[in-house]
Amino acid sequence: MADLHVTDDTFLLSALRKGDKEAFNQLFRKYYPVLCAYARRFVELEDAREIAQDMMIWLWETRETVPVIISLSQYLFKAVYRRALDYHSRKQLKRRADTYFYEEMQEILQEVDFYQLEELSKRIREAIEALPPTYREAFTMHRFHEMSYKEIAANLKVSPKTIDYRIQQALKILRKELKDYL
């Protein structure tokens, strides 16, 4: 009976190499479920399905150059085993990287003094409010409403050069006012 299995796989693999879709369908129906079950021993069900499907897709895509295989089933099981281990390793590496990132962010967040941030935000708002009205208007339209110099100039009925000057002056004043905080 084992010889029939090997002969059957050999025949199907030979037909597959010639592009026979029915041979692939038979191999898929025969091996996909057992490869899923086997991969499930190492990874979650969805991942096992993906690994088994990838293996079968690989078999179809490399059908013309697939190496000479004594036992197709052994070959497929070994390949699925390696892919499952690779997947598991990549997942562990990602989990370690995520953990490291989380710990780093927690450390950074603990170092940030939220009272200082609130104080800085308050000082920035006060400094902007203290700007001359024409500077403040051009600056807020550009920075907070994301308008271009041309758009602001058209809106205020002045030249874009005037807007450029007003924004540059506003920035100069803000840098001076906030130098102790920046």
Within 112-148, where are the H helices? 114-129, 133-143
Tell me the average pLDDT across 4-12.
68
What is the percent of the chain with per-residue pLDDT over 90, rounded to a whole number? 46
| DSSP string of 18-57, one letter each residue | TT-HHHHHHHHHHHHHHHHHHHTTTS-HHHHHHHHHHHHH
Domain endpoint, select from 83, 109, 135: 109
Number of domains in the chain: 2
| CATH code assigned at 156 | 1.10.10.10
Chain segment 30-63, per-residue pLDDT in tens: 999 999 999 999 888 999 999 999 999 999 998 8
Tell me the average pLDDT across 144-169.
92
Verify that 155 and 128 share a domain, yes or no.
yes
For the whole model, what pTM was predicted? 0.50
Q: Is residue 133 part of a domain?
A: yes
Instruction: State the residue range of the domain holding 166.
Output: 114-177
